[in-house]
């Protein structure tokens, strides 16, 4: 069964783009990025930016955009049974080349997990004007990383001066 990505979370000011692989089933049902309650993505964003609690999905997205962070997936669509990244097959990538060209302030690309980076590397060449970071996946399937361990890895990229 083919599954479809969401539209990007973006504005003209983004400097950082976080790329996942493809939304999981819970996210697709909710029509929200990282909707699975055990996914640690939003918990990390909360901790990194000292947010007490999110009251809505739109508030989550606004925090990203206020901090010049965009969000999207490498895959526009792919075959996948269930939600595991390992099961992604026959992926068709999003048009990241055009996206990059439309965001002149973009300088950092962050892959949320190895699968996002591997699919990117399969379909795109890395450009010298960007810094690329592959960070541990926030997925509940990445059980070897506690929230605290993920925070140590992820906060390095978002340290505020």
Active site members? 39
CA distance 9 to 6: 9
CA distance 136 to 113: 5
Q: Regarding beta strands 75-79 and 2-4, do their DSSP bridges make them parallel or antiparallel, or are they unpaired?
A: antiparallel
Would you state the structure tokens that stand for residue 16, as one six-digit string?
Answer: 């950082």
Residue with tokens 């692989």: 21
Check if the beta carbon of residue 113 is closer than 8 Å to that of residue 21: yes
């Amino acid at each position: 069964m083919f599954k479809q990505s969401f539209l990007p979370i973006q504005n003209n000011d983004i400097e950082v783009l976080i790329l996942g692989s493809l939304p999981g089933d819970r996210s697709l049902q909710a029509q929200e990025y990282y909707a699975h309650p055990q996914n640690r993505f939003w918990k990390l964003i909360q901790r990194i930016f000292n947010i007490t609690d999110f009251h809505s999905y739109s508030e989550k997205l606004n925090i990203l955009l206020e901090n010049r962070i965009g969000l999207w997936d490498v895959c526009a669509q792919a075959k996948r049974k269930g939600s595991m990244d390992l099961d992604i097959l026959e992926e068709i990538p999003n048009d990241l080349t055009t996206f990059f060209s439309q965001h002149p302030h973009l300088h950092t690309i962050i892959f949320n997990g190895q699968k996002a980076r591997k699919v990117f590397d399969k379909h795109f060449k890395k450009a010298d004007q960007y810094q690329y970071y592959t960070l541990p996946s926030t997925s509940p399937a990445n059980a070897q990383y506690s929230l605290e361990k993920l925070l140590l890895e992820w906060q390095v990229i978002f340290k505020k001066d």
